[in-house]
Amino acid sequence: MILSTTDFIQGENIQNYLGIVTAEVVYGSNALRDFFAGIRDVLGGRTGAYERVFEKGQQDALKELQARAQKLGADAVVGIQVKTDTINIDEHGVLMLITATGTAVKL
């Protein structure tokens, strides 16, 4: 399975467009991680714990995107976009949302 952010695969011909595929991954916030991120906000610097969450979330979203495309019989997914966002559930809680979207194709 080829995953690509481009609209085509160099050296390959797209025989059939199978449709848009989307995968969503949602992670809850963590009190300990939030505490250390708050310290980083005061002291400055990168927040490695959240970077790892988003990195894992992007990988998980792409794996799910691939699985959904395979169910359609796809050989590749082109035009992939990965987006991150947050969902506020109350004044103290935030969910992290990672979405991957692309077009499943048969080569």
Q: Where are the alpha helices (DSSP H) in the chain?
A: 31-43, 48-71
Q: What is the pTM of this model?
A: 0.77
- Exposure of 20 by Cβ count < 10 A (0-12 exposed, 13-18 middle, 19+ buried)? exposed
Domains and CATH numbers, the chain: 2-106 (3.30.110.70)
* Per-residue model confidence as pLDDT tens digits over 33-50: 454 455 544 455 556 666
Q: What's the mean pLDDT when you consider all of the chain?
A: 84
The letter for the amino acid at 92 is: H
Q: Give yes or no for a contact between 76 and 4, defined as CB atoms under 8 angstroms apart.
A: yes
* Per-residue model confidence as pLDDT tens digits over 81-100: 999 887 777 766 678 889 99
Mean pLDDT, residues 9-25 taken together: 96
